[in-house]
Amino acid sequence: MTALALKRIVRGSLAEVGISFEYPYPYRSDTKARSTTWFEHERGFGLRLYPTGREVYIVQTRMAGRLRTITIAPSTIISQHQALTIARRVIAYAQVGHDPATDRARIRSAPRFGNFVDEYWRRWSAQWKASTLATHGVYRRLYLDHAFPSIFIDELNEAHVTQWFAALNDETGPGAANRCLTILVNMLTKAESWGYRLENTNPCRTVRPNRKYRCERFLSSAELERLGKVLAEDQAGEDKLKAVVASAVTLLLLTGCRSGEVASLQWSDVKGNRLKLRDSKTGPRTVWLGDQARAVIAALPRQRGVAWLFWNPVLCKPVLRIGNHWPSIRNRAGLPGVRVHDLRHTFASHAAKNRETLPMIGRLLGHRNTQSTSRYAHLDDNHVLGAAEQIGTAIERMIA
Mean pLDDT for the chain overall: 80
Distance CA 79, CA 75 (A): 7
pLDDT band at 190 (very low <50, low <70, confident <90, very high): very high
pLDDT tens across 326-338, in order?
999 999 999 998 9
**What is the percent of the chain with per-residue pLDDT over 70, rounded to a whole number?**
74
Residue 78 has pLDDT above 60, yes or no: yes
Residue among 349, 341, 348, 340 nearest 364 (CA): 348
What is the reported pLDDT for 400? 44
For the domain spanning 221-346, the CATH number is: 1.10.443.10
pLDDT average, residue stretch 342-358: 70
Pick 242 or 213 by higher pLDDT: 242
- Please state whether 26 falls in left (phi above 0), alpha (psi between -120 and 50) or beta: beta
Residue 291 has pLDDT above 90, yes or no: no
Phi, psi angles (nearest 5°) of residue 305: 80, 0
Give bridge partners of residue 56 from the DSSP assignment.
48, 74
Helices and strands per DSSP (H, E), number in the chain = 16, 9
Give 167-170 contacts, CB < 8 A, sequence gap 24+.
168/143, 169/210
pLDDT tens across 10-27, in order?
666 666 655 554 544 444
Q: Considering the domain delimited by 3-107, tell me its CATH architecture.
A: 2-Layer Sandwich (3.30)
What is the reported pLDDT for 115? 93
Pick 220 or 160 by higher pLDDT: 160
pLDDT band at 310 (very low <50, low <70, confident <90, very high): very high
pLDDT band at 93 (very low <50, low <70, confident <90, very high): confident
- Highest average pLDDT, of 49-63, 76-90, 118-132, 348-362, comes from 118-132
Q: Point out the least confidently predicted range of 137-151, 222-236, 272-286, 371-385.
A: 371-385
Phi, psi angles (nearest 5°) of residue 367: -80, 150
Same fold, 3-107 and 221-346: no
Q: Where are the domains of the chain?
A: 3-107, 110-206, 221-346
Phi, psi angles (nearest 5°) of residue 123: -90, -25
pTM over 0.95: no
Residue 295 has pLDDT above 80, yes or no: yes
For the domain spanning 110-206, the CATH number is: 1.10.150.130
pLDDT tens across 199-221, in order?
888 999 889 999 877 666 778 88
Residue 102 has pLDDT above 70, yes or no: no
Distance CA 346, CA 324 (A): 20
